[in-house]
């Protein structure tokens, strides 16, 4: 059974940093691309960032480019999102999502974690 | 960026009804279109990929169609567990964008 478990969310002040983690199990992690997708409370879904199986291809939404960094550790079956210079508009549930393929060419999110809430407020 | 527009934004229906949700892309995306279901407090779940392929384990009452810029998600006979919000998402080009969602409520 595929399982994705996010952690690291919480309340943080504007301008500060936070690092999210996603622990994966139930599939061969190093064969698939992974993504972060966020959802502000009561709002729709927004793709944030994606990373290919080898970390050779990385992509970001314009809204987070230069502030967020995605990474993965295939030896630990883990995905990460380093979030710097956080803003109030970054407040959202952050979901880790598995891609159906190894590259970033076709983003089909076939499994999702339960999400972790990031609240940015003073 | 490719804009995805769903209609309607919400609908009320009864158990057993046939329900149709439409998604329109701001440019042609071939059949690079996915549909997700999200229940309150839960993560989204992939229902349909490639516009018309049913994800493993998804009931056959769900179906998808369309190509180019116009797409449809159909639930042939609405069940109590289908009351949720549905999102389309284009997988044609980055940034990968979603529709605003369609909330299916009990009539």
Q: A75-87: per-residue pLDDT in tens?
A: 999 999 999 999 9
Q: Across residues A103-119, what is the average pLDDT?
A: 95
Q: What pLDDT sits at residue B91?
A: 97
Do the chains contact at B87 and A45, CB–CB below 8 Å? yes
Confidence of residue A106 (pLDDT cuts 50, 70, 90): confident
- Residue owning tokens 């529709």: B99
Per-residue model confidence (pLDDT) at position B107? 84
**Is residue B8 reached through a cis peptide bond, with omega within 30 degrees of 0 on the bond before it?**
yes
From B34, B38, B99, residue closest to A108, measured CB to CB: B34
What's the pLDDT at A50?
98
Q: Quick one: pLDDT at residue B65?
A: 98
Give the HSE-up count for residue B83: Cα atoms under 13 Å, Cβ half-sphere: 9
Using CA atoms, how far apart are residues B74 and B58, in angstroms rounded to an integer? 13
Measured CA to CA, the distance from residue A109 to residue B91 in angstroms comes to 10
The DSSP-derived string for A67-82 is TEEEEEETTTTEEEEE
What is the average pLDDT across A93-114?
Answer: 95
A17-66 per-position pLDDT tens digit: 999 999 999 999 999 999 999 999 999 999 999 999 999 999 999 999 99
* Per-residue pLDDT tens listing for chain B (107 residues): 999 999 999 999 999 999 999 999 999 999 999 999 999 999 999 999 999 999 999 999 999 999 999 999 999 999 999 999 999 999 999 999 999 999 999 88
pLDDT of A89 strictly over 90: yes
**Could you tell me if B5 and B24 are in contact, meaning their C-beta atoms sit under 8 angstroms apart?**
yes
Residues of B in contact with A95 (CB under 8 A): 43-44
Question: Is the pLDDT reported for residue A9 higher than 90?
Answer: yes
Mutation site, B64, B86, B95, interface A, largest A CB count within 10 A: B95
- The distance from CA B89 to its chain's CA centroid, rounded to whole angstroms, is 8
Other beta carbons within 10 angstroms of residue A67's beta carbon come to 15
The mean pLDDT of A106-113, rounded to a whole number, is 96
The backbone torsions φ and ψ at residue B17, rounded to the nearest 5 degrees and listed phi first, read -70, 155
Q: Are strands A18-25 and B4-7 parallel, antiparallel or unpaired?
A: unpaired
Interchain contact, A106 vs B32, CB within 8 Å? yes
Q: Does A107 touch chain B (CB under 8 A)?
A: yes
């Amino acid at each position: 059974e595929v399982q994705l478990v996010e952690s690291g969310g919480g309340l943080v002040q504007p301008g500060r940093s936070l690092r999210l983690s996603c622990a994966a199990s139930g599939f061969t992690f190093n064969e698939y691309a992974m993504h972060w997708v966020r959802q502000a409370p009561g709002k729709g879904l927004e793709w944030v960032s994606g990373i290919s199986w080898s970390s050779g291809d990385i992509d970001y939404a314009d809204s987070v480019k230069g502030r967020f960094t995605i990474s993965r550790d295939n030896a630990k079956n883990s995905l990460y999102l380093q979030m710097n210079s956080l803003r109030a508009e970054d407040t959202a549930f952050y979901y880790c999502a598995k891609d159906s393929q190894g590259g970033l060419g076709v983003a089909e999110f076939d499994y999702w974690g339960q999400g972790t809430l990031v609240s940015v407020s003073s | 960026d490719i804009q995805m527009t769903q209609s309607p934004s919400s609908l009320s229906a009864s158990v057993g009804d046939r329900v149709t949700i439409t998604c329109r892309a701001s440019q042609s995306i071939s059949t690079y279109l996915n549909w997700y279901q999200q229940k309150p407090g839960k993560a989204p779940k992939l229902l349909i990929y490639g516009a018309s392929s049913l994800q493993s384990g998804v009931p056959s009452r769900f179906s998808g169609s369309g190509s180019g810029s116009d797409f449809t998600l159909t639930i042939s006979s609405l069940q109590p567990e289908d009351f949720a919000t549905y999102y389309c998402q284009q997988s044609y080009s980055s940034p990968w964008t979603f529709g605003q969602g369609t909330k299916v409520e009990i009539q």
